[in-house]
Chain A
C-alpha cells in the first residue's frame, strides 16, 4: 500500500484528527499547569484514569466516558488534597497515583480482560479509534481549547498570584477546580493518542520547549500549542512511514519528537538568557572599580555599531566579546 493510499484510509484520517486535537488541547491546559508549578499533575490524573478505563472495560461501558468521569473525580480530589494538606500534599498525591494505576490493573484482571486491551490505553493506539470516539474527542478537545483561550486572562491571573487574584474578586477556588477538570478532560482526550502513561509529556514538553525562547505568556501558550500539534501530527506521520520497515508505535514517536524539539530549543534558550543578562542595566551608582583601559581597539563603538549597547549610569557600555567597553577620551575602558 502506498503512503497516499494509506493516508486516504478512514482509520488513518480519524487518527490524524485525534492527533491534531490532542496536540492543540494538551499543551493549552499544560501551560497553566506549568505556570502553577504542577507539571506532574497530568501524570497523576493519567494514573487515576487507568482505573476509569478498566471500569469501562469491565462493565462494557465506553472506556472513554468512564475515564473522563474517574479522571475528573480524581483531579478534583487532587486539587482538594493540594489545597488542604499543605505539608504532605506530595505524599497524598503519590497515594492517589499508585492507587489509580494498581486499581486499574486489578479491575481489568478481575474482569478477565487481556493485558493488550488495557495496553491500548496505557500507551495509546491511534489507529484503532472508532468514529464515535473521534467525535467525542473532538467535542472535548474543542471545549478544552475554547475555555483555556477564552478564560486565559482569569486563569493567568489566578496561576500567577492567587492572593492578588482573590483580592481582585476572582473565585480562585472555582478557577483552580476548572483547571483540574480541564486537565482531566485533556488527559482522556490524549489517552488514545499517546497513552495514559505518556500523556503528561504532551502537556509539559511543548510548554517547556516554547518557554525557552519566549518572553510573554501569550506567545508561550500559542507556541506550545503549535509545537504540540507539530509533535503529535508529525509523530503520527513519521511512525506511519517507519512502519513500512519496522514496528513503530505512534504514541512514543510523538513524545520523542516533542523531546527532540526541546533538545533543539534548549541551547537557543541558554543563549537568549545569556544575552538578556548582558542587556540588563548595571545597578546604579556602581562605578567601574578602577580605571582599566582595554588594549588596542581599532573598532569605534557608537549607536548602531553592531555591539549591544547597555546603559550604565551616565554613559553607555558596549558589549564586546564578553567585555563591556565604555568610551573614555580616545580609548575604551573595561567596565
Chain B
C-alpha cells in the first residue's frame, strides 16, 4: 500500500487496536494525502472513532504503525500541526468556563510555558471564534450554549492552534440542521485554506459536498475506500449487516485463548 509514502499527512499501515482484549481494528491500511477531505463512515461499533483516536495516539496499536507527516507517532512532537476535535456531548466541566477561555486552550500548542498571550495568539483566537460564528458569545459560559454551539466551540479550539491536519470525531452528532450548516461552512473555509481533514461521521448531511473520499469501516476493517458515497449507500447490507447496528452479540470464541490479544499477526517488517 501507500503507507510508506512520506508525503502522506497521516498514514496507518497494518494497524490493529484491541480494547480489553477484544479486537476493534484489524489490519487497517490508510493513507491520507495533504489537502484531502476524508470521511470515515460506518455503523456504530465499526471502529471509526477508534481509528481516529489511534491516529492521534490516544489508543495504542497492538500491531502496525501510524505516521504523522512521515514521522512515526512515537517520535512525533510537532503537535501544533494537528487539530483534534474529540467527540463530546458538552464542552463544559466542573467549573464555569467562558467560550474564549475554552478556545484559548487550543492555542497552547504554540505557547511557551509561563508566557503571556502574544498579539498573534489573541488574533488567532479571535479569528477562530469568527470562523465558527461565535465571536459575539466569547464572554458567555460554555454551559449556556446549545449543543451545536458547544460543538462549534470545540472546533474553534482546534482552529486556534492553526493546524494543517484536522481530526474531527462525529462533529455532527446530535447537532441540529442549521448548526450542521454552519459546521459545513466552517469546514469548507478550512478546506479552501488547504487543510487536510479526517472526519468521522455517521451521516454526512450538509457536509456531503465537501468530501473528496469516503472510507467505510465494517467490523474493524476497511470495507470501502473511494469516491464519496451518499448516506443511504453507507448503510447498504454489504457495509453493515442489517439490524446489527446496536447489538454486537458477545462472541465467546476468543475467551478460550486469553493469551492471544489480537487475532492479527504482527508483521513488523514493513516500513
Contacts and interface: CB of A to CB of B under 8 A. Distances in A.
B125 to A, nearest CB: 12
Contact of B141 (A31, A35, A157, A215): A215
A166 B58 contact: yes
A150 B79 CA distance: 22
Interface centre among B82, B94, B104 (most CB of A within 10 A): B94
A167 B93 contact: no
Nearest to B105: A157
A284 interface: yes
A163 B146 CA distance: 22
A30 to B, nearest CB: 10
B84 A34 contact: no
B95 A207 contact: yes
A34 B94 contact: yes
Interface string B64-96: 000000000000010110101010100101111
A117 B91 CA distance: 47
A142 interface: no
Interface in A157-173: 157, 159-161, 163-170
A207 B93 CA distance: 14
A156 interface: yes
Interface centre among B82, B91, B93, B106 (most CB of A within 10 A): B93
Contact of A215 (B56, B98, B161): B98
Given A276-B144, A284-B178, A167 B79 contact: yes
B144 A280 contact: yes
A84 to B, nearest CB: 14
B1 interface: no
Nearest to A207: B95
Nearest to A214: B96
Contacts of A216: 96-98, 100-101, 139, 141
Interface stretch (B30-38, B109-117, B191-199, B253-261): B109-117
Interface residues of A, number: 38
A31 B95 contact: yes
A37 interface: yes
B113 A154 contact: yes
B84 A164 contact: yes
A36 B106 CA distance: 18
Contacts of B101: 156, 216-218
Given A150-B114, A153-B111, A218-B101, A159 B93 contact: yes
Interface string B132-169: 00000001110010100000000001000100000100
Contact of B176 (A150, A156, A280, A283): A283
B95 A217 contact: yes
A102 B190 CA distance: 59
Contacts of A137: none
Contact of A160 (B82, B93, B113, B167): B93
Interface residues of B, number: 39
B58 A154 contact: no
Contacts of A36: 93-94
A26 to B, nearest CB: 15
A151 B114 contact: yes
A211 B96 contact: yes
B96 A168 contact: no
B96 A215 contact: yes
A70 to B, nearest CB: 27
Contacts of A157: 105, 108
A270 B57 CA distance: 41
A210 B59 CA distance: 37
Contacts of A150: 114
Interface centre among B58, B97, B98, B111 (most CB of A within 10 A): B97
A220 interface: yes
Contact of A164 (B94, B105, B139, B178): B105
Interface in A6-52: 31, 34-37, 39
A160 B105 contact: yes
Contacts of B53: 163
A161 B88 contact: yes
A168 B58 contact: no
B128 interface: no
Contacts of B96: 211, 214-217, 220
Given A157-B105, A161-B88, A218-B101, 11 more contacts: A36-B94, A39-B94, A154-B113, A156-B97, A156-B105, A161-B105, A166-B58, A167-B58, A216-B97, A216-B101, A217-B96
6 contacts: A34-B94, A167-B57, A168-B161, A214-B96, A216-B98, A283-B146
Interface of A: 31, 34-37, 39, 150-151, 153-154, 156-157, 159-161, 163-170, 207, 211, 214-218, 220, 276-277, 279-280, 283-285
